[in-house]
Amino acid sequence: MSLEKISTQLKLSSAEQKLPPVELWDPPYCGEIDIVIKEDGSWYHNGTVFKRQKLVKLFASVLKKEGDEYFLVTPVEKVKITVEDAPFILSQWSWGQGGEYGEMQLATTLGDEFILGHDHPLHIGDNGCLYVTVRRNLMAKVHRNVFYQWADIAKERKTSSGTELVLPCGSYELVLGCF
């Protein structure tokens, strides 16, 4: 991607930006670059935090996961980066259509917005943390504050394996865990 194209993309508003079709691109592997997405969602290059949020959003738009590895891709090159946990952080939520216990609108720290459901399901990781599929096969870790808000309004339901914390969200049930 040329510097001119990057500059043009950075100038677009969030509403004007469309995600590139990285799932259709299979460029040659060009090596590894010292970019790390930390566990808290911050991006670093050569040990220095990215300070321009628009640049982070641009790189996040060309992020691709293959197996357990993450890459930044363009139609002509693919470079490997390091992701410590999940590339996104789920930081906001609100009730959408249907009001309380209707659809749940979610947002990441990078501005991705979507409705929790079958296209964007909740997962419980091996580490016990909650994750939501954002796009393609990229996950957002549910921020602790969001989890506590959900746990505060969730309902208890007895099952054969114990008691579940359940939050109904329209036609989707959000199971926060079992104890």
Look at phi and psi of residue 31 and say left if phi exceeds 0, alpha if psi is from -120 to 50, else beta: left
CA proximity to 148, closest of 108, 90, 105: 90
For the chain, what percentages of helix, strand and coil (3-state, to nearest 5) are there? 15, 45, 40
Q: Assess contact for 148 and 142: CB atoms under 8 A.
A: no
Whole-number Å distance between alpha carbons of 130 and 124: 5
Does residue 158 register a pLDDT over 70? yes
Whole-number Å distance between alpha carbons of 155 and 137: 29
pLDDT tens digits, 68-78: 999 999 999 99
What mean pLDDT value characterizes the chain? Answer: 87
Which domains, from first to last, does the chain contain?
A: 3-83 (3.10.540.10), 88-178 (2.30.270.10)
Mean pLDDT value across residues 157-177: 84
Mean pLDDT value across residues 136-154: 92
CA proximity to 71, closest of 27, 108, 110, 107: 27
pLDDT at 14: 46
pLDDT at 13: 41
pTM: 0.82
pLDDT at 38: 97
pLDDT category of residue 6 using cuts at 50, 70 and 90? low
pLDDT at 86: 96
